[in-house]
Chains A and B, each alone.
Chain A
């Protein structure tokens, strides 16, 4: 018998086996069901629950923070090297004030828009990227020594848009380290490439948020030509600025497709004309699909200055911020003038242009699928940047006993609760209208609804009211979302009032807290760095480590799984009936 395989079995044994197998089948099925339950229970226990000793703190090591360029040098917020640009200049007879911050405006570009790109020397114009017809100034109509016919040409630029040629944005514009939301901006008419050079995707300096501040004189004949270089229709609506509903030819001049004009199609141009009779800090924006186009960034500050003799104005303040050539009237009352333009960005809206290239898809997603009533803002900009980049451009530099004029525009979807540390400023104008002197209140939180403007007089008189004395004093939106970048802070629109005695040579504030360089790591804005990383609290409050799954549970899991598989195979062979399976 031992030589025969399979062995022959007597019939009564075979029958017994069949009975046994049927009996066993039920037992096996029951066992499998129970074991599956056990398996689920073991698996549930394989969570990260810790009962006694919590895992140790993990050390976070960021390559970028410690060595951003692979040069062995730690990251530094200010590396611009704009020493010459920071100085005071006399360019083509135009005085350009000192601008002692890390990244000052190009003084030649300031001179060009003060004098007019048609009047300035070619040598100066070549120091800029402006087109020769970007700002044309002529005709001293009232004979007071300054030009009164001003022709401004604006283009529409997309920043951080998509590319069909690769997974990248073009041209790039960073609002904060590693943060590149899609944006549309009005830009001065420029010449040449949108990128800084052939080997870069980075946008040139003039292509940036916010849309430039436009400054004209009361009574000037102003022409603003919108050259629609974008791929969707746009207009310009002059919000709060005195302008006729129709121009001399009877064409719409209000920029509103619903009422008075057809939108300017891609490749077309349209000139708006006005002769503003009233002064003040106003607003301009695209009025096509306003809810979306305005929030995409097609919005800017519009300032009408008093008519004064020899009042050559800085017609464009690209990127807003410090005004390096203020009007005669402002200079008479203030040492310095700043344009502060606040914006908010909902990434659900702004990323639409990064996820499709076909303008029809973009139009569909933006205007029919995106629901702004469900929108929440993710990014908050002061003059086109979020902290810490705000500190390169938009710090307010003061000395004791100065008066500084701040023009504030709230281009956000929400209320702006601007707060100045160490200072209480006076609200002199609201929506461009001067307040009666008795109503010029002093506050430390200045609230502005969407699209409103406010002029503030920031006095640095150290009297415990207007100023508490020299220092580095924050100013920021106190609606707390506003000081975050996608919810993580410090971020958003935080900037600083910096007294000269607290200013480094490179234009950065002297700080004695945790500093700002550590916020340069894009991993910070990506939410990957424990918030107190880099300080002495790291060991206490750093990243909680992970735990290994419990060894015994892992063994149980495997064991039970193996048994289930084995039992199932048993079941499969045993159902085949006599003659197979468990012979």
Chain B
């Protein structure tokens, strides 16, 4: 408990110090289940925050950096325009990268509110305490940070963790080495698990399909019957 308090106080100091608009880097001590303490690398200023930036520490199983990738990722309401029924989105919904890639993301926020580029499921020993890497931009502008993906094939969730932002479209996936499947409900990409229901409009073509299919079904049975009768008759 006292550690939590200390952590909060340091966090508070970190937040209040940002008034000076100077970037500050601190190691926060955050207790979490299973371990007495872990170090979260955290930098924050008026424009945003970066958690667990990692430019050089290799994940277990990576002998070396397989390649350096530079991504620019935009976030904003306008990128949801091509996904009806969504309100926020990234400009891309999927990335495929080689295992052990070092990825530098320039995260551009095109809205006037906060957005995040947050990845879950990374190795906890590099991205403590829960395996998360985050870039947060507090308003119009951008921040750049780097992380290194592990060596095994895996699909990572990329999303914005503001309340309902992921649900309303700000969701993507990053496949390391072809990944290990798809993540649900990525706009335009993967099916949802809990679908919305819309009005059903029986268009002319669907009526035609229905009638033709009915005739086909009926025809199939009757045809079979006549075939049998002929056969029996002979």
Contact = CB atoms under 8 A, between A and B. Distances in A.
Given A49-B197, A563-B220, A567-B221, A544 B85 contact: yes
A54 B196 contact: yes
A544 B198 CA distance: 8
Contact of A558 (B81, B213, B229): B213
A547 B202 CA distance: 8
B203 A583 contact: no
Contact of A551 (B192, B209, B229): B209
A50 B196 contact: yes
Q: How large is the interface on A (under 10, 10 to 19, 20 to 34, 35 or more residues)?
A: 35 or more
A442 interface: no
B87 interface: yes
A548 B232 CA distance: 45
A47 to B, nearest CB: 6
B221 A546 contact: no
B138 to A, nearest CB: 23
Contacts of B86: 54
A106 B203 CA distance: 56
Interface string B193-234: 001111111110110011111111111111001001100111
Contact of A559 (B85, B190, B216, B232): B216
Contacts of A51: 191-192, 195
B213 A557 contact: yes
B227 to A, nearest CB: 11
Contacts of A53: 83-84, 188
A138 interface: no
Nearest to B197: A48
Contact of A566 (B84, B192, B217): B217
Interface in A1-27: 6-7, 9, 13, 17
A582 B218 contact: no
B202 A549 contact: yes
Contacts of A56: 84
Given A17-B232, A554-B206, A582-B229, A52 B191 contact: yes
B190 A52 contact: yes
Contact of A562 (B77, B84, B195, B220): B220
**Contact size range, B:** 35 or more
B222 A566 contact: yes
Contacts of A564: 217
Contact of A583 (B189, B192, B222, B233): B233
A554 B191 contact: no
A438 interface: no
Contacts, number: 140
Contact of A555 (B83, B188, B209): B209
Interface in A39-92: 46-57
A93 interface: no
A7 to B, nearest CB: 5
Contact of B198 (A546, A559, A583): A546
A180 interface: no
B87 to A, nearest CB: 7
A570 interface: yes
Interface in B44-81: 77, 80-81
Contact of A7 (B84, B188, B225, B233): B233
A13 B192 CA distance: 59
A562 B216 contact: yes
Contacts of B85: 54-55, 544
Nearest to A5: B233
Interface in A530-567: 539-540, 544-549, 551, 554-567
A90 B233 CA distance: 109
A559 B188 contact: no
A55 B199 CA distance: 10
Contact of A47 (B83, B200, B212, B217): B200
A549 B198 contact: no
Interface in A495-551: 539-540, 544-549, 551
A50 B190 CA distance: 11
Contacts of B191: 51-52
A558 B210 contact: yes
A558 B211 contact: yes
B84 A545 contact: yes
B207 to A, nearest CB: 9
A232 to B, nearest CB: 45
Contacts of A567: 221
Contact of A570 (B197, B205, B221): B221
A524 B16 CA distance: 48
A564 B216 CA distance: 12
B213 A562 contact: yes
Contacts of B228: 582
Contact of B206 (A7, A9, A549): A549
A130 B81 CA distance: 60
30 contacts: A47-B197, A47-B200, A48-B197, A48-B199, A50-B196, A51-B192, A52-B188, A52-B190, A56-B84, A540-B81, A545-B199, A547-B199, A558-B209, A558-B217, A559-B213, A559-B214, A559-B216, A561-B213, A562-B221, A563-B217, A563-B220, A563-B221, A565-B221, A566-B220, A569-B221, A570-B225, A582-B228, A582-B229, A583-B232, A583-B233
Interface of B: 77, 80-81, 83-87, 188-192, 195-203, 205-206, 209-222, 225, 228-229, 232-234
Given A49-B198, A50-B198, A547-B200, 5 more contacts: A55-B85, A545-B198, A549-B206, A554-B209, A557-B210
Sort A-B residue pairs by CB-CB distance and give the 10 closest, nearest first: A562-B217, A566-B221, A558-B213, A54-B85, A51-B191, A546-B201, A562-B218, A48-B198, A546-B199, A558-B214
